[in-house]
Amino acid sequence: MINPDTTYHVMGLTRYVDDRDFPSRGLHCVVFFSPLARGKIRNLDISAARKVPGVAFILTAKDIPGENQIGGIIQDELLLAEDEVTFAGMPVAAVYAWTEEAAREAVGFIKIDIAEETPVLNPREAYNRNELIAPVRSFTLGDVKEGIASAVYVAKGEAESGAQEHFYLEGQGTVATPSEEGNLHLASSTQAPTMVQRCVARVCGLAMNRVEVDVRRLGGGFGGKEIQANTWACFAALGAQKSGVPCRMVLRRSDDMRATGKRHPYSSDFTLALDEEGKFLAFKVIYYQNAGAAADLSTSVLERTLFHATASYYVPNVHATAASCRTNIPPNTAFRGFGAPQAMFVFEAAIREASRISGICVETLQRKNLIKTGDCFVYGMAAENARAERCWDKAYAHYDLEKRMRVIDDARRKEKHSSGQVSRYGRGYALMPICFGISFTTIFLNQARAHIHVYTDGSVGVSTGAVEMGQGVNHKIREIVADSLGITPERVKLESTNTIRVSNTSPTAASSGTDLNGAAALMACEMIKERLFKFMADQYQCVWQDFSLRDSRLYREEKACGLGWEDLVMQAYHSRVQLSAEAHYSTPDLHFDTSVEKGRPFAYHTYGTAYFEAEVDRLLGTYTIEKAYVVHDLGRSINPLIDLGQVEGGMVQGIGWVTMEEMRYSEAGRPLTATAGTYKLPDISSAPLDMKVKFLEDAHNDRAVKGSKAVGEPPFMYGIGAFFAIKMAAGSENASYCCAPITPERLFMELRAGV
Ligand code: MTE
Ligand code: HPA
Ligand code: MOS
């Protein structure tokens, strides 16, 4: 069945937070942001703003009834500035008015006097000043010194990757409605309803049981609403709490872009050592992560970077060090891939440099070193059921890559030999293998609950902790439930995600929404089925295991019993059989010991290989991605159409990150690209002209629900291949300094400089 959400989206019938009916007797919140990146607040004057007609009240830090603290992992982030500002876009005051226009007008009358200080924008500079979010972490395997000492080739270089704006189509927002008893109901656009509940409870000085968070769906999250939805939910909640009327806080695009965090930019130094044949012997790396002004999820993102330090490859000796560096830009946050893309980019750059100095072709180095079953990752876990080589080889065979690459190689060779004249157009290719660990690296988050009601007419309602954000988790769970109960998906309804129905939810993140919540839903179905079958076994005088449900009918030992689903349910109800169930799932066999940085942090890994071809106009620096051919390991897909959408969408988002998306700040730390007009997003015309995705066959996965594999994030990292295909096409093979994104502007400069 096709995901019915898509029909609603296309018809414009889908309703997001700001599409809800909002009462005219409700307040609108608009935030006054710090215009400067760093400094002490000398004076804040809200008197003129207060007088603007329609303004109800203005809140500053001292008006917060609970704690002025919204830090998640580390308690270092204020909701409203107190005596200093640490980034341009930091909330300083919140204006509440009866119309959004009045609130916005009032914001214009707020005056702030800041003793400006020079901001730190570069993570290496922050590191040198010891501006660290947390102590530096290192992962080691084997002996790197020895590995490098015994090497024939040692490639060294630097790689930099940039920020990325989430650009969810629905901006951040929450509508808060108070009740008579002073409790709060929040309709929020968040990936983490429980985080919003906890954060709002803390800021408003309420117990968590007095804050209900309801999430119908998001118009995209991509990690940007894993923790950063909290801020805006708090503003809505504070307004509703103080006024006793509903309060709406929805960011307009430009405010969303300048006030929220992005993907973390990284600057890294690498050393990759190889033997004569091109076997990797040692990898040494240090990552300088640009965390922004507060911790947010940075330490967790950094941890995933370390986990993915060697990308899809086996390296016996590794020393990977990572520093989360505090700078004066908005706190950076989760973004699809969660630190792993940054790590994989560095490793792929290192391979290009290793190829250049050794003369061994890139694909030989890649293929030779792909991780195999039993090989150890830097964190001490051995790869189980590794499918890196299978995906790689399948891509070669299925897309006839050998031949494709030879055509391009021949053309390039001819060009080299012809009178030194470089042609205007150049073509290049790159393969990009991926290997991504599935599970939250924060182990306690790997749990979920599902609550299922079977109603007396046979229809089914399902509540879980999963948040639908366009990735199709609701529909996947619908299909899991329908299949388990042997009914059509149309009979199953996915309810909103609500903290009253399902409590203590983990964020829908780490690609594990279906793995966790789908597994819990399946368990709840099994519980209900067992009760129904036991009830029938009494009547048939047999064992309950003889029964099954299929085609909306009851079967006993593969023979239809002549009883339909509806009748079965009704009979069970009249016999007082419980028709609801709640189940709890927690991923087995996960452990990690941070004192030695070793363990088994992931349930399993997802693999795949992408092949890219690009053409570059060497005169203008412009390019097109001509081909993207993928072989992807999905396990046994629950819904291939949804998964295809995730693979294609993720890959294009990854291409955007390394090619055209560029977040720039002025020297004073002010964002220069905080509008849709100045920030270039990938659109349909920047997607590869020819995109093919093949799912690996015969790829059952024992470690996730129904043999499937998580799909949300891994395909993002294919995009990195586009960068290297463009580099090759441009003829700039020196990879001792790789800088993404390779915007046409940067490529033009590189071509002029002859890099
Ligand atoms: N797909 C769409 N359409 N919209 C999104 O916001 N988020 C991505 C991915 N795919 C996202 C998406 C991210 S960052 C993650 S972690 C996963 O979906 C989360 O959902 P899942 O765990 O159900 O795959
Ligand atoms: N991915 C996404 N979000 C997270 C993770 C992770 O691994 N760990 C904690 N939050
Ligand atoms: Mo995704 S970055 O784990 O929300």
Model confidence over 2-57: pLDDT tens digits? 899 999 999 999 999 999 999 999 999 999 999 999 999 999 999 999 999 999 99
CB-based contact 466:474 (threshold 8 Å): yes
Centroid of ligand 1 to alpha carbon of 512 (angstroms): 9
For residue 526, what are the CA distances in angstroms to 516, 532, 545, 549, 582?
A: 16, 10, 12, 11, 11
- Rounded CA Rg of the chain: 27
Place of tokens 């890099």: 755
Centroid of ligand 2 to alpha carbon of 721 (angstroms): 24
Pocket of ligand 3 (CB under 6 A): 191, 221, 223, 226, 334-336, 338, 509-510, 713
How far apart CA 723 and CA 718 sit, in angstroms, is 10
CA-nearest of 346, 204, 217 to 658 is 346
CA-closest residue to ligand 3 atom 4: 223
Q: At residue 738, what is the residue type?
A: C
Whole-model pTM: value is 0.98
Average pLDDT over residues 388-395: 98
Strand order in the sheet with 266-274: 137-141, 317-326, 280-292, 266-274, 153-161, 737-739
Which of 335, 447, 471 for mutating ligand 1's site (highest number of atoms within 8 Å of CB)? 471
Task: List b or e across 717-737, with b for residues whose CB sees 16 or more CB atoms inside 10 angstroms.
Answer: bbbbbbbbbbbbbbbbeebbe
CB-based contact 76:134 (threshold 8 Å): no
CB-based contact 668:119 (threshold 8 Å): yes
pLDDT by residue (tens digit) across 134-188?
999 999 999 999 999 999 999 999 999 999 999 999 999 999 999 889 999 999 9
For residue 206, what are the CA distances in angstroms to 77, 232, 469?
A: 19, 17, 28
pLDDT by residue (tens digit) across 173-228?
999 999 889 999 999 999 999 999 999 999 999 999 999 999 999 999 999 999 99
Place of tokens 């799932």: 585
DSSP conformation class of 68 = S
709 Cβ below 6 A of ligand 2: no
pLDDT in the model for residue 180: 85
CA angle 553, 570, 495 (to 5 degrees): 85
Q: Reduce the DSSP state of residue 754 to 3 states and report it.
A: coil
Average pLDDT over residues 626-639: 97
CB-based contact 345:312 (threshold 8 Å): no
Element (H, E) at 161: strand 153-161
Residues 529, 531, 537, 539, Cα dihedral to 10°:
-120
Which of 300, 512, 713 for mutating ligand 3's site (highest number of atoms within 8 Å of CB)? 713
- Bridge partners, 460 (sequence order): 454, 492
Element (H, E) at 379: none
421 pLDDT higher than 80 = no
CA-closest residue to ligand 2 atom 5: 440
Residue in 226, 613, 713, 750 annotated catalytic: 713
Centroid of ligand 3 to alpha carbon of 755 (angstroms): 35
Atom of ligand 2 nearest to the CA of 226: 3
Which of 297, 301, 336 for mutating ligand 3's site (highest number of atoms within 8 Å of CB)? 336
Ligand with minimal distance to 296 CA: 2
How far apart CA 692 and CA 631 sit, in angstroms, is 9
Centroid of ligand 3 to alpha carbon of 511 (angstroms): 7
For residue 316, cis peptide bond before it (omega within 30 degrees of 0): no
How far apart CA 729 and CA 415 sit, in angstroms, is 12
Average pLDDT over residues 451-463: 98
Average pLDDT over residues 526-548: 97
313 pLDDT higher than 80 = yes
Ligand with minimal distance to 304 CA: 2
For residue 142, what are the CA distances in angstroms to 148, 286, 311, 412, 525?
A: 11, 17, 17, 40, 47
442 Cβ below 6 A of ligand 2: yes
445 Cβ below 6 A of ligand 2: yes
Q: At residue 105, what is the residue type?
A: E
Q: Where does 265-316 show beta strands of DSSP type E?
A: 266-274, 280-292
Atom of ligand 1 nearest to the CA of 710: 24
755 pLDDT higher than 60 = no
pLDDT by residue (tens digit) across 633-687?
999 999 999 999 999 999 999 999 999 999 999 999 999 999 999 999 998 888 9
How far apart CA 584 and CA 742 sit, in angstroms, is 46
Ligand with minimal distance to 262 CA: 3
Which of 228, 230, 298, 338 for mutating ligand 2's site (highest number of atoms within 8 Å of CB)? 338
CB-based contact 493:452 (threshold 8 Å): no
Active site residue 713: yes
Centroid of ligand 2 to alpha carbon of 506 (angstroms): 10
Q: How many helices (H) and strands (E) does the chain have?
A: 20, 30
CA-closest residue to ligand 1 atom 11: 222
509 Cβ below 6 A of ligand 2: yes
CA-nearest of 755, 732, 719, 737 to 616 is 732
Q: Reduce the DSSP state of residue 518 to 3 states and report it.
A: helix
Centroid of ligand 3 to alpha carbon of 133 (angstroms): 21
Centroid of ligand 1 to alpha carbon of 242 (angstroms): 35
Summary mean pLDDT of the chain: 97
How far apart CA 184 and CA 480 sit, in angstroms, is 33
Percent of the chain with pLDDT over 90: 96
304 Cβ below 6 A of ligand 2: yes
How far apart CA 171 and CA 683 sit, in angstroms, is 18
Q: Reduce the DSSP state of residue 693 to 3 states and report it.
A: strand
CB-based contact 554:542 (threshold 8 Å): no
CA-nearest of 442, 140, 165 to 303 is 442
pLDDT in the model for residue 420: 64
Centroid of ligand 1 to alpha carbon of 169 (angstroms): 13
- Other residues' Cβ atoms within 10 Å of the Cβ of residue 636: 17
CB-based contact 695:643 (threshold 8 Å): yes
pLDDT in the model for residue 465: 98
pLDDT by residue (tens digit) across 235-265?
999 999 999 999 999 999 999 999 999 999 9
- Other residues' Cβ atoms within 10 Å of the Cβ of residue 143: 15
CA-nearest of 352, 310, 304 to 158 is 352
Average pLDDT over residues 558-575: 97
CB-based contact 190:215 (threshold 8 Å): yes
